[in-house]
Amino acid sequence: MIVFVRLLVLLSTFTLMTASAAAVTASTQAFAAALDAKWDFDQPAVSEERFRAELAQWPPASAEAAEVRTQVARALGLQRKFADANAMLDGVEAGLPELPAHVRVRYLLERGRTFNSSGAPQRAVPLFAEALAQAERDQDEYYAVDAAHRLGIAAPVAARLGWNLKALALAEAATDAPRLARLAALAIGDTPAPAKP
């Protein structure tokens, strides 16, 4: 009887821990989606202003502030302010050991985008690959698709089709289909035609 009671206590503890982890994941995904909704890719300076206003709402050392900083960096990169983008990402990088894995994924994606956009795809590819591996481990579906898609852009030409097909496969298997539809469409549009024999 005592063994049975201990098993019940262990099972209920595990169930509570699992439910708590799921709630954190849902909260993280909701924050990321809300943050992504602030983007106007045609006006990165406007997006930068929005992200800086959002950044002011969070304690400086919080995971939310770090995630917002990754998007400020992305906006700076889209304005071709690569030194400023890298400086912002340097600040995020310093806090990564204390931050959730999701923030690391976003950091890796934005550092990779900055390198790729500034003409250094060879520096971007390992970062995108690491982001993909981390996102897949954590079942961070949207950013796994994003990382695979980024590899489909930055990788050597011969590997791009494979990476974009992986992005499409990840998107098709994902549970957040509406949010991933945009990324899947991008992967289709960026997929190179197979080489003619």
Q: Looking at per-residue confidence, does 15 or 104 come out higher?
A: 104
Place of tokens 């097909």: 165
Domain boundaries, the chain: 21-119, 124-197
Over residues 81-103, the mean pLDDT reads 97
Percent of the chain with pLDDT over 70: 77
Cα separations (Å) of 197 from 9, 161, 191, 194?
A: 64, 16, 18, 9
Over residues 57-81, the mean pLDDT reads 97
Nearest to 124 by CA among 100, 93, 83, 153: 153
Give the chain as a DSSP string.
-HHHHHHHHHHHHHHHHHHHHHHHHHHHHHHHHHHHTT--TT-HHHHHHHHHHHHTTS-TTSHHHHHHHHHHHHHHHHTT-HHHHHHHHHHHHHHGGGS-HHHHHHHHHHHHHHHHHTT-HHHHHHHHHHHHHHHHHTT-HHHHHHHHHHHHHHS-HHHHHHHHHHHHHHHHH-S-HHHHHHHHHHHHHHPPPPPP-
| pLDDT surpassing 70 at residue 23 | no
* CB-based contact 154:128 (threshold 8 Å): yes
pLDDT number for residue 52: 98
pTM for this one?
A: 0.81
Over residues 39-45, the mean pLDDT reads 96
Q: Tell me the average pLDDT of the chain.
A: 84
Low-confidence winner among 41-55, 77-91, 142-156, 178-192 (lowest mean pLDDT): 178-192
Percent of the chain with pLDDT over 90: 71
Residue type, 68: V
| pLDDT surpassing 70 at residue 102 | yes
Q: Looking at per-residue confidence, does 11 or 143 come out higher?
A: 143
pLDDT number for residue 179: 56
Over residues 167-183, the mean pLDDT reads 75
| pLDDT surpassing 70 at residue 2 | no
